[in-house]
Chain A
Amino acid sequence: MATMSKKIDGQFVVPGERLGVVEEFDAGTGTVDVNGTVYAAQTGKATLDPTRRKVMVKTLAGPPVVPEEGSAIIGMVEKIQEKMAIVNIIMIDNHKVERPFTGLLHISNSSPRYERAMGEVCKPVDLIRAKVIDVSARIPKLTTSGRGLGVIKAYCSNCGGELVLSGNILRCSQCRNVERRRLADDFLGNTEPEKA
């Protein structure tokens, strides 16, 4: 049995290649168990994890980028309602997504504090950094409540100008309109020098 395992470990495999049987090891990511036989399901390097008795295929192709629980995403706010925002997810775990997935940010997940209205968390066209917390619903649910999460780029709801931070005040760089957002720690708009 050990010799068989040795033979597989580190091998380059393509989908459908037999890796072994479930009595030897469980089917991990990139593999598939078909009636007790484990086959590669992706193209890449077969890797054995002897401590967990698991075989995986570290894929070199793809892998598909879809929102999963725990994914770090960047999204553009498409529209907001009183209690929620619809977000177009344009990056997932640092991979660009050409055709965005839709995500849903509910106000209760938007901030560690109590927020009165979605309009004080984010507004359409803002870019937000969020985490996916639930993919079982029809639309993946997001949170911006954790560290580093929140709005990273914001635009004036009046004139569309970029919002910049001066001190604690978020102000439009064009029309000087003052707005509120749930900002990420590293908000990208804090470039304007503070006024003396």
Chain B
Amino acid sequence: MPEPKQPEKLIDEKGLRIDGRRLDQLRPIKLEVGILDKADGSAYIEQGKNKILAAVYGPREAHPKHIALPERAVIRCRYHMAPFSVDERKSPAPSRREMELSKVIRESLEPVVLTELYPRTMIDLFVEILQSDGGSRCAGITAASLALADAGIPMREIVAACAVGKIEGKLALDLSDAEDKYGEADLPVALVPNSSMITLLQMDGSLTPSEFERGLGMAVEACKAIHSMQREALKKKYHEIKEVVEEKEESEVIA
């Protein structure tokens, strides 16, 4: 795939972005729950051109044993990009960026998992970026928290994540690849909605404190919108199962 050229303008005279979105508009999001057979829980997200799989294994016996904690489960996390996920082939060996993102993704989800219920075990979280299009860590968190719910791991609530950026001096929601590359700032945020807690916050570029406050507000609202999509995705998957289970229960009662 040829590398996309720098667009002349990121915002046109009508105030629309290169993909036709308004500044406060998310890219189209598609969520699916429970799509991998072997994993204890899994989810898939498409957000713009992002295509990301998340899978959860566990709680299982901690390995290596010395990482186990006596009072809670250990969470392990790997964020990894497929070699073909970006324009220039990426070496499959974990980069420093991937190691950092593995850490911040884990830290964004740790606060909601009821790890105290499974002492000495380990919960593994795998986020594979099949195609990357800006905001992949946030989309990865959105998918990973669905995979945790799909695994039936008890959790306080579902975490949603979204980035806000600055392009041509204006705050814009959910930056695409080109906007991230040629924009002036990127502010990825993860929100635990009921407790209004921010569990992922990073920033690079340049924002004044007042831009930061407005950007954070936009990100929080977007996370809430994504959160309701996550609930819908879970309901969609489990509604079918629920009906099957109920039919079975009813027939058992009759029998």
- Let me know if chains A and B touch directly in the complex, using CB atoms closer than 8 Å: yes
Give Cα A42 to B245, complex, Å.
Answer: 16
> Is B155 in contact with A64, judged by CB distance below 8 angstroms?
no
State the Cβ distance, B177 to closest chain A Cβ, in Å. Answer: 31
- What CA separation (Å) do A97 and B60 show in the bound complex? 9
| Contact present for B61 and A42 (CB under 8 Å) | no
A32 to B194, CA, bound (A): 13
Cβ A12 vs Cβ B242 within 8 A: yes
Q: Mark B24-54, 1 if CB is under 8 A from A, else 0.
A: 0000000000100010110000000000000
User: Interface residue count for B (Cβ, 8 Å)?
Assistant: 38
B154 contacts A41, CB within 8 Å? yes
Please judge, given known A-B contacts A43-B149, A64-B58, A66-B121, whether A34 and B156 are in contact too, CB under 8 Å: yes
Interface size on A, residues (CB 8 A): 29
Task: Say whether A15 contacts B155, CB under 8 Å.
Answer: yes
B114: Cβ under 8 A from any A Cβ: yes
Q: Write out the residue numbers on chain A whose beta carbons fall within 8 Å of the beta carbon of B226.
A: none
Q: Does B143 contact A (CB under 8 A)?
A: no
Taken together as a complex, chains A and B put the C-alpha atoms of A41 and B151 apart, in Å, by 12
Within 8 A of A (CB), among B198-255: 230-231, 234-235, 238-239, 241-242, 245
Pick the interface stretch among A98-106, A116-124, A176-184: A98-106
Task: Chain B residues near A45: list those with CB within 8 A.
Answer: 242
Identity of the chain A residue whose Cβ is nearest the Cβ of B232 in the assembled complex: A14
Within 8 A of B (CB), among A31-48: 32, 34, 39, 41-45
Q: Shortest beta-carbon distance, B111 to chain A, in Å?
A: 11
Q: Which residues of B contact A102 (CB under 8 A)?
A: 61
Is the beta-carbon distance between B151 and A61 smaller than 8 angstroms? yes
Asked if A100 and B61 sit within 8 Å, CB to CB, the answer is: yes
Residue of B41, B63, B114, B239 touching A32 (CB-CB under 8 A): B114
- Complex: chain B residue closest to A31, CB-CB: B154
- Chain A min CB distance to B94 (Å): 22
Nearest opposing residue in chain B for A100, CB measure: B61
Nearest CB to that of B157 among chain A residues? A16
Asked if A30 is an interface residue, CB under 8 A from chain B, the answer is: yes
CB of A190 to closest CB in B, whole Å = 33
Q: Does B152 contact A (CB under 8 A)?
A: yes
Given contacts A14-B231, A100-B61, whether A60 and B41 have CB atoms under 8 Å apart is no
A41 to B148, CA, bound (A): 11
Interface residues of B (CB under 8 A from A): 34, 38, 40-41, 57-61, 63, 70, 112, 114, 118, 120-121, 149-158, 193-195, 230-231, 234-235, 238-239, 241-242, 245
Interface residues of chain A, those whose CB is within 8 Å of chain B, are 12, 14-18, 30, 32, 34, 39, 41-45, 59-64, 66, 97-102, 138
